[in-house]
Amino acid sequence: MEDRGIWFKGSIVPVADAKINVLSPTSQFGLNVFEGIRCYWNEEQQQLYAFRLQEHFDRLLNSCKLIGFSCPYALGQLREYFLETIRFNSYRQDVAVRMTLFIDGEGSWNSVAPVEMFIAPIAKSRTDVTNLKGLSACVSSWDRIGDNCLPPRIKAGANYINGRYGHLEARRNGYDVPIFLASNGKVSEGAGACLFIVRNGQLITPSLTSSVLESITRNTILDLALEMNLRVCEREVDRTELYIADEVFLCGSAAEVTPITSIDRVPVGQGLPGELTVKMLDLYLDVVSNKSPQHGGWLTKVY
Ligand SMILES: Cc1ncc(COP(=O)(O)O)c(C=O)c1O
C-alpha cells in the first residue's frame, strides 16, 4: 500500500488508519457517492493542476441530492479539504483523487445519516501517447442500468456492480472492455467511461438521456471539438453504427481518451487508433496539464 495521508472524517490520517465499520451502509450496500478527480503535473511550470474541480463538486452534490442524503460540507470546504490533502502528500506527479461521501454508522440501505467523507489521492500516470495501442471491445449482453431503476446519472458506488458484470463478461470472452446498450437497445456507455464515434468527420455521442453518467470529460471533448471546428452531435446511437464507425473512443477522467480498435472482433476503421482520436487525446493531455493556456479556466493550481 502506498504510504500516504488520507482525509478521513475530518482529519488527515495514514491510509492504514482510515477504517470503517463493516456494518456501515457503505460497506454493506455501496451506499456512497463519489468523484474521481485527476490532477496533472506540469514539469516546466513546477505546478500540479486539478481538472474541472467545480464541475466535480457540482456533480457530487447532485449525486447526494438524488441518492437522498445531504452533504455536510459547503463547496468552499470541499475545495479546501481536497487541496489540503494533496498538498499534505506533496505530490509532484499525476494523481487521481477519490472523493467519497458515505453513510457510516450501523444502519441499513435506507439510512440517511451519518454522512462522512474521505479524500484519497492515488498516484496515476497519464496515457502514454507514444505507446498507444487501443482496446478491443464487445457489446455487453448486460443492459446498462437505467434512470427508473438505478440511475446512472448518480455516481454511486453501487452502480458500478453493473459495470462489473459487463467487464467480467468481456474479459472472460477475450475482450478488453464492454460497451453497454441501454434497455431500449441504443448505445449507452462503457463500464467507467462515455463513448464517442466518428462518422464522416462528425463526432457523435449518446445523449445525456441514454443511461449515461453526466461525464465531465464528455463535456470537455464536446467543447474542444467545437473549438476545432468539428461537427458534433449528441443523439441516440444505434448498435450497428458502432460497426461502421470510422473511429470509436471512450472518454473519462480515468480513461482520458482511449481508442477502441475493434468491436465484437469487427475492426474499427483500419483497426488502429483513429487520427481524430489521437489528435483529441493529444489536445486533452495538453489542456489538463496547462499546456494550452486558453483553457486555464478549467484548472486549479494545487501549489
Ligand atoms: C459509468 C461512467 N461513465 C462515464 C464516466 C466518465 O465521467 P467523467 O468524465 O466525469 O470522469 C465515468 C467515470 O467517472 C463512469 O464511471
For the stretch 160-181, pLDDT in tens is 999 999 999 999 999 999 999 9
Q: What is the rounded CA–CA span in Å between residue 58 and residue 199?
A: 32
Pocket of ligand 1 (CB under 6 A): 36, 189, 192-194, 213, 215-218, 252-254
Note the pLDDT of residue 3.
Answer: 80
% the chain with pLDDT above 70: 99
Whether 152 is in a domain gets the answer: yes
155 is annotated as an active-site residue: yes
Whether 224 is in a domain gets the answer: yes
Whether 295 is in a domain gets the answer: no
Shortest-distance Cα residue to atom 2 of ligand 1: 192
Listed residues 125, 149, 168: the one ending a domain:
125
Whether 271 is in a domain gets the answer: yes
Whether 298 is in a domain gets the answer: no
Whether 262 is in a domain gets the answer: yes
> Are 159 and 60 found together in one domain?
no
User: pLDDT digit string (tens) for 272-294?
Assistant: 999 999 999 999 999 999 999 89
Note the pLDDT of residue 293.
Answer: 86
Which domain does 103 fall in, by range? 5-125
> Are 273 and 141 found together in one domain?
yes
Whether 93 is in a domain gets the answer: yes
Report the CATH number at residue 100.
3.30.470.10
% the chain with pLDDT above 90: 99
> Are 174 and 230 found together in one domain?
yes
Shortest-distance Cα residue to atom 4 of ligand 1: 193
Mean pLDDT of 201-228: 98
> Are 73 and 202 found together in one domain?
no
Count of domains forming the chain? 2
> Are 179 and 141 found together in one domain?
yes
> Are 148 and 37 found together in one domain?
no
Max Cα-Cα span within the chain? 55
> Are 111 and 186 found together in one domain?
no
Listed residues 98, 125, 152: the one ending a domain:
125
Report the CATH number at residue 213.
3.20.10.10
C-alpha cell at position 130? 507514444
Q: Are 246 and 200 in contact (CB under 8 A)?
A: yes
3-state secondary structure 256-275: EEEEEEEECCEECCCCCCCH
Q: Are 249 and 193 in contact (CB under 8 A)?
A: no
101 bridge partner residues: 33, 117
Whether 302 is in a domain gets the answer: no
Listed residues 78, 104, 125: the one ending a domain:
125
Cα(105) to ligand 1 centroid in Å equals: 28
Q: If you average pLDDT over every residue of the chain, what do you get? A: 97
Has residue 14 got a pLDDT over 90?
yes
Note the pLDDT of residue 35.
Answer: 98
> Are 147 and 236 found together in one domain?
yes
Q: Which atom of ligand 1 is nearest to the CA of 36?
A: 14
> Are 114 and 14 found together in one domain?
yes
User: Which residue among 19, 155, 186, 291 is the active-site one?
Assistant: 155
> Are 113 and 139 found together in one domain?
no
User: pLDDT digit string (tens) for 45-57?
Assistant: 999 999 999 999 9
Residue 2's pLDDT band (cuts 50, 70, 90): low
User: pLDDT digit string (tens) for 91-149?
Assistant: 999 999 999 999 999 999 999 999 999 999 999 999 999 999 999 999 999 999 999 99
Mean pLDDT of 26-40: 98
> Are 65 and 198 found together in one domain?
no
Q: What is the rounded CA–CA span in Å between residue 121 and residue 119?
A: 7
User: pLDDT digit string (tens) for 289-302?
Assistant: 999 989 999 999 99
> Are 111 and 141 found together in one domain?
no
Q: Which atom of ligand 1 is nearest to the CA of 155?
A: 16
pTM: 0.98
